[in-house]
């Protein structure tokens, strides 16, 4: 299984998702969503070329959380309509670097244009 790491921007994205979810949807919703995000990371570690991964070019891939929601059941249910996509690179040492986690409504190109070079 590959290792993965989060960019500083991806960490900020998770903090933002956390704050929004806790403030607007509550603890149980956050538990479900966090479990979904963790499940997506595990899926990508196992197979970064699985059926839901799309290539954006320039070595960046995206994976919508909707592709793993069935696998992310919790005692509190599952996320019915995930709205985020994971953007990642596969580095030379075969590590998956999660560069952003962006909401469907965001302008992906704008948010990905300022990624630091490897």
Q: Which helix or strand (DSSP H or E) is residue 31 part of?
A: helix 27-46
Q: What is the CATH number of the domain that holds 94?
A: 3.30.2310.20
- Euclidean distance between CA atoms 50 and 68, whole angstroms: 11
Query: Where in the sequence is the domain holding 25, given as residue range(s)?
Result: 4-112
In a domain? residue 86: yes
In a domain? residue 70: yes
In a domain? residue 19: yes
DSSP 117: P
In a domain? residue 118: no
pLDDT at 50 over 90: no
Residue 78: CA atoms inside 13 Å, Cβ hemisphere, count? 13
Q: What angle, rounded to 10 degrees, do the helices at 8-24 and 27-46 form? A: 150
In a domain? residue 40: yes
Supply the Cα-derived Rg of the chain in whole angstroms.
14
Task: Work out the number of other CB atoms within 10 angstroms of the CB of residue 10.
Answer: 20
Task: Work out the number of other CB atoms within 10 angstroms of the CB of residue 40.
Answer: 27
Domain count, the chain: 1
What confidence tens digit (pLDDT) does each residue in 79-106 have?
A: 889 999 999 999 988 899 999 999 998 8
pTM over 0.75: yes
Task: Work out the number of other CB atoms within 10 angstroms of the CB of residue 45.
Answer: 14
In a domain? residue 13: yes
In a domain? residue 117: no
Q: What is the pLDDT of residue 110?
A: 82
């Amino acid at each position: 299984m590959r290792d993965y790491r989060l960019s500083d921007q991806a960490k900020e994205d998770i903090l933002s998702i956390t704050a929004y979810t806790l403030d607007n949807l509550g603890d149980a919703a956050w538990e479900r969503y966090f479990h979904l995000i963790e499940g997506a990371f595990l899926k990508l570690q196992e197979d970064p070329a699985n059926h839901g991964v799309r290539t954006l070019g320039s070595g960046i891939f995206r994976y919508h959380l909707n592709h793993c929601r069935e696998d992310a059941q919790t005692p509190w249910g599952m996320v019915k309509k995930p709205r985020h996509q994971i953007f990642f690179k596969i580095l030379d040492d075969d590590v998956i670097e999660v560069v952003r986690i962006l909401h469907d409504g965001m302008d992906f190109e704008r948010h990905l244009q300022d990624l630091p070079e490897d």
